[in-house]
Amino acid sequence: MTVTLKQPAYARTVAAPTSKSAAHRALIAAAFADRETTLLLRTSCEDIDATARCLTALGAAVRPVEGGLHVIPVSPDRVQKNAVLDCGESGSTLRFLLPVCGAIGADATFLRRGRLPERPLEPLATALRQHGMTLTENGAELVTRGRIGAGDYAIAANVSSQYISGLLFALSLLDAPSTLTLTGKVESAPYIDMTVAALSDFGATPQKASGCAYRVPGREAAPLTSPGILTVEGDFSGAAFPLAMGAIGPHPVTVTGLALPSGQGDSEILGLLERFGAHVTVDGDSVTVSPAPLHGLEIDARQIPDLVPILAVVATAAEGTTRITGAERLRLKESDRIASTTAFLRTVGGDIAETPDGLSICGGKKLHGGTVNVCGDHRIAMSAAAAALLTNEAVVIPGSECTQKSYPTFFEEVILSSQERSNP
């Protein structure tokens, strides 16, 4: 669907979508717990649906109920063999469940769509092979065989925190204790902390050992124990878009349903918007961002890569230069987000340049609008919609339906009536 935005109206109050990062983790823990769990979610999305679909293929039952999802766990003696797991385009689903399948001995075929087959699996694949699994790629399919056992695991921590999270889940399902040592500089550390917190919610907390290592007790010592009902928190990654619109648009925006303090790394959006110069007010589970004169910043994005596209939009509204560094891994997302962010902002008149590990944006200039290529990337599409607040002419967004991946209600709940829609 193509959306055309010219000085769009946007909501003053928005309920945060459910955190897909938290929902992935809660679903996996619930699927291997001792009894049924009800997860309370305000919204779902394609990525959450992918994890639910794959867990169902492994033998769990994930059923919609009013206000969320009800999970009946996988029976250990009824794990589905030779399961077909359709991950869609969800990197979290693939990288979390790949080691989990090794832990439960579920030979599986993973189906990967979109850009997912191009996204790396090393060094996770090597670690799994070293402990007993075989992985065979056949185009978009990834076939796994074998079972991993308890023991000492090590993995580089500077490639993807999702590898570490997947291993923490898998080692928690083994009978005996294991250790997981992280080598190199840890990036996206808050996402690892979210995994530890999710396992803790189910009574199976990995213990931080000396240095960058975890001792995982295994299910005999610490079985996953359902809390019965668990509320999945609101998503700062999704909330970042309306919050940023409060900073750059003509009126404030309040986002409700956000847990504060939060273990989500992208909650850093609040501090960053304050550093840009916006007014940020927190009241319980609500955050209000109000416009004010903005100025450029130096931003290290190593722990918050998903915020980079919307931060680049805010930077175009800020006087002076903003430099974003530490974002190399963005080249391996749903699009090359360094390139796609640069391209769409240049299309609408932004002064932006790629750097080896990020972006340099010269802000404070009025944008002129144009037709943007979102490259099938949900975060680029939502960032382009936010940029329409800064343009004289219309911003045209073909392929806007890609927002279904993380924020299906964005163009209904955040962007309001001043828009035109057409199907191709």
Q: Mind telling me the catalytic residues? A: 306
Distances (CA, A) of 95 to 101, 120, 121, 155: 11, 10, 8, 14
Distances (CA, A) of 240 to 41, 80, 315, 419: 19, 39, 14, 21
Distance CA 214, CA 237 (A): 27
Through-space distance between the first and last CA atoms of the chain, rounded to whole angstroms: 6
Q: Are 363 and 315 in contact (CB under 8 A)?
A: yes
Smallest Cα–Cα separation from 99: which of 32, 23, 4? Answer: 32
Show the DSSP H helices in 110-249 as ranges: 124-130, 161-172, 189-201, 236-248
The reply to whether omega before 261 is within 30° of 0 (cis) is yes
Q: What is the dihedral of CA 377, 9, 389, 348, to 10 degrees?
A: 60
Smallest Cα–Cα separation from 306: which of 276, 265, 272? Answer: 265
3-state SS class at 237 = helix
The neighbour count for residue 184, using CB atoms within 10 Å, is 11
3-state SS class at 167 = helix
Distance CA 128, CA 113 (A): 22
- If you ran DSSP here, which 8-state letter would residue 213 be given? E
**91-104 vs 46-58: helix axis angle to the nearest 10?**
20
- If you ran DSSP here, which 8-state letter would residue 184 be given? S
The neighbour count for residue 284, using CB atoms within 10 Å, is 8
Q: Which amino acid is at 227?
A: P
Distances (CA, A) of 411 to 7, 8, 246: 14, 11, 16
Element (H, E) at 21: helix 20-31
Q: Are 168 and 196 in contact (CB under 8 A)?
A: yes
